[in-house]
Structure 1
């Protein structure tokens, strides 16, 4: 993530906020070009890059807790 942000800053002359927004735009563009069921995979690819607008995914153990009782 930091490497991509740094490259956007150096090569495109963006500030950190602009670099993060650029990553969000790229993520949204890629998601618009793939079938909907692949959208979650795209989110995973871009997780941690750019803005923190993406919801965090629960870990499998946390989501299975309801089976314990």
Structure 2
């Protein structure tokens, strides 16, 4: 997810804090659109977003689609 934060900073001109907040909004939006039992999976996709200075945690390979 650190890559996504960097892209938001470069392409949208956001600060690290703004980029992290934008991703938090996206995570919450996605969680509101999926069945509750999928919420934990969504949290895993966005793992590591709480601290933009640290590299994102490695999550299951199922998040590969987010890189493309």
Give the 3-state SS of the residue equivalent to 1:18 in structure 2.
Answer: helix
TM-score (norm 2): 0.71
Correspondences of 1:2-17 after superposition (within 5 Å) = 2-17=2-17
* Equivalent in the alignment of 1:21: 21
Gaps of 5+ in 2: 52-68
Aligned length: 51
Distance in 1 (CA, whole Å) between partners of 2:6 and 2:41 is 24
Structure 1 runs (4+) greater than 6 angstroms displaced: none
* Equivalent in the alignment of 2:34: 34
Question: Root-mean-square deviation (CA), in Å?
Answer: 1.0
TM-score (norm 1): 0.70
